[in-house]
Every structure is written in structure tokens, then in C-alpha cells.
Amino acid sequence: MHPSPPYSAVILAGGRAARLGGRDKPQLEVGGRTMLGSVLDAVSGAVRRIVVGPPQEAPADVVFTREERAGAGPVAAVRAGLAVVRTDVVAVLAADLPFLTGDLIDRLRSSLDGDGVLVVDDTGRDQLLLGVWRTTALAGAVADPAAPAALHRALAGLDVRRLRPDVAAGHPAPWTDCDTPEELARARAVARGGTG
């Protein structure tokens, strides 16, 4: 088995969080850590960790960048993040994944073939912001400013593998995100040891 190549991580943290009342979502805490902090910890082995969004609390080595027009959506945010990637492989992640682990990132990296590999959740839905990609292929898919605004459309032409991780009973799914007050409350309950 060959070691996985070096990788960078692009973390999208520039959404408006409208369903959370416009709060600074990446800095909200789940289990005593900010959600952004949890994601950054999961990619601590990355050559470079890049946050696409406004400057906020993060380790000193984290690189911040913004899409050309703030709030222009995930395709523009991915394009902005890739502009400062210098590795052949890149993880692209949402900033609101409080249960993401380094083990899952490692599994995605070792499963990479074709253009990319992403997580499929327990409902069969692609988690577009929980994947690892060949930088050149992903950059080509989002390069055109006139490309589709929807990320799934921009990625439609790529050769993508799907990974459905097993989730042990009683453990939170790594794709758990927090877009609404209810989802945030559930995630906090799970982190405290409840069932949510």
C-alpha cells in the first residue's frame, strides 16, 4: 500500500448562516470546541489549511482567503480556495462538521482514484463538502466564472467515487452539519452524550 500524497485542505466558512440568524456559524461551539476548530483539527496533517471566509479565530498557520464577491456561493468559494493550493490533492470541507475526524480524512485520501472521492450519507445523498479531490480536475470544473452556481452541476463531469462510511451505533455521523438552530441543538446534545 502506497502512502497517501501530501494534501491541502480548503474549508468553506463564508456562508450567511441565514437559518441560524446570521450568527458566525463556524465559531459556534459543539462539545466545547468551535465547529471550525473541529474541522481544522481533523486536517491537522494538511500541508496548508485554507479557510474561505472572513478572518476569524484560528491557529496562526491557517490561510484566509475570500471569493471574488463575498457570499457568491460554494463554486466561487472553492475556486478562491484552490487559487492558493500548491498540492496535487485537496480536501474540500464545510466549516460546520463538528464530528469530522482525521481518520475519515485519511480514509478518503487512501480511497482517492479518478478525480475525487466524497462521502455519501445514510440517505444516499452526496456530501459535496466532505471529499478529497485531484486539485487539477477540481480546479478545471470550477474555473469558469460562468460555470453553474450549483456545486453538484459544476462537478457533474468529474469521475467521482462515493464512500459510505459505517457509523457505529451511538456515535454521531461525520457528515452531521448544523444549518438550523434545531440541528445545532441536536449536535450539542449528542456531544454531551445524549441521543439528540
> 53-66 pLDDT, tens per residue?
888 888 999 999 98
- Under the banding of pLDDT at 50, 70 and 90, the label for residue 174 is confident
- Under the banding of pLDDT at 50, 70 and 90, the label for residue 15 is low
- Under the banding of pLDDT at 50, 70 and 90, the label for residue 2 is low
H-run or E-run covering 152: helix 151-154
66, amino acid identity: R
Q: Of 9 and 74, which is predicted with more confidence?
A: 9
Tell me the pTM.
Answer: 0.89
- Under the banding of pLDDT at 50, 70 and 90, the label for residue 148 is low
Q: How would CATH label the architecture of 7-191?
A: Alpha-Beta Complex (3.90)
pLDDT at 85 over 80: yes
d(C-alpha 109, C-alpha 69), whole Å: 31
What is the reported pLDDT for 23?
54
Contacts of 52 (CB under 8 A, 6+ apart): 10, 11, 12, 13, 14, 64, 65, 66, 67, 77, 78, 80, 81
The closest of 98, 171, 162 to 127, measured between CA atoms, is 162
The closest of 10, 171, 184 to 93, measured between CA atoms, is 10
Widest pairwise Cα distance in the chain:
47
Stretch 84-102: mean pLDDT: 95
Stretch 150-179: mean pLDDT: 87
Q: Of 146 and 195, which is predicted with more confidence?
A: 146
d(C-alpha 94, C-alpha 26), whole Å: 9
Average pLDDT over the chain, rounded to whole? 87
What is the reported pLDDT for 19?
42
Q: pLDDT of 177-194, one tens digit each? A: 877 888 888 878 888 886
Contacts of 176 (CB under 8 A, 6+ apart): 97, 98, 99, 183, 187, 190
pLDDT at 107 over 50: yes
**For the CA atoms of 73, 45, 108, 16, what is the dihedral angle to 10 degrees?**
-20
What is the reported pLDDT for 172?
84
